Amino acid sequence: MACILKRKTIVVIGFAVAFLVVIIARLTNEVNFPLMLSCFGQSSVQWMPFSYTQKRHLRAHYGYLNVKNQEPLQLECDLCAIISNSGQMTEQKVGSEIDQASCIWRMNNAPTKGYEEDVGKRTTIRVVSHTSVPLLLKNADYFFKETNSTIYVIWGPFRNMRKDGSGIVYNMLKKTVDSYPEAKIYVTTEKRMSYCDEIFKKETGKDRLQGSLMTS
């Protein structure tokens, strides 16, 4: 129970920070999302009044490999909307604004169905913690069939993600792509995971590997 409360607090604080960033972004029209985007090799992102008619060139991101064919993730974003999975997103009524971004990022299994007015309906990419994979699988038809254009990037500790047959999360994902050949599921490489842990430590002062602190 204490753990759940703690996580809720973290999510709420996370939302407050994200919201502040969005406000600042809207004031300055330009912003960096250093933590998450540098993890994805996007050095900076322009937050522009919405227009994404220009042709996008996909870029390969070698820290993220497709579970089915081991190909790197191809992604290029002009304008990102990073949507918190906090309950505070309800009643925000920013759905149509979010849906105009060229890349829409969501966390774990954060729902859109029924909340479109507040959080939008498009999802380009879901960043999913290894602990949330079973939650996606509970609703696999929705995530991997109905919304098969969404890219899933799964992160987790090497012991769960290893590909030699003993990584329990990797095994689940492997089974999933066998059942849903259209599903675009990527895993974070061990090297990329260390890099992101390092950034997390630098920006928060906390060692994700030592504490029980979990973020999405």
Ligand X SMILES: *[C@@H]1O[C@H](CO)[C@@H](O)[C@H](O)[C@H]1NC(C)=O
Which residues, 6 or more positions from 165, have their beta carbon under 8 angstroms from its beta carbon?
A: 171
Q: Cβ closer to ligand X: 67 or 82? A: 67
The nearer residue to ligand X, 40 or 144, going by C-beta atoms, is 144
182 near ligand X (CB under 6 A)? yes
- 91 sits near ligand X (criterion: CB under 6 A): no
| Cα 108 from Cα 33, distance rounded (Å) | 19
Nearer to ligand X, 145 or 202 (CB): 145
Residue nearest to ligand X (CB): 148
By CB under 6 A, the count of residues binding ligand X is 4
- Residue 136, both tokens: 């996606």
Taking CB atoms within 8 Å and a gap of at least 24, the contacts of 4-11 are 7/214, 10/213, 10/214, 10/215, 11/84, 11/85, 11/86, 11/216
Tokens of 86: 């906090």
Hey, which residues between 121 and 180 contact ligand X (CB under 6 A)? Answer: 145-146, 148
Task: CB nearer to ligand X: give 62 or 142.
Answer: 142
Site residues (CB under 6 A) for ligand X?
A: 145-146, 148, 182
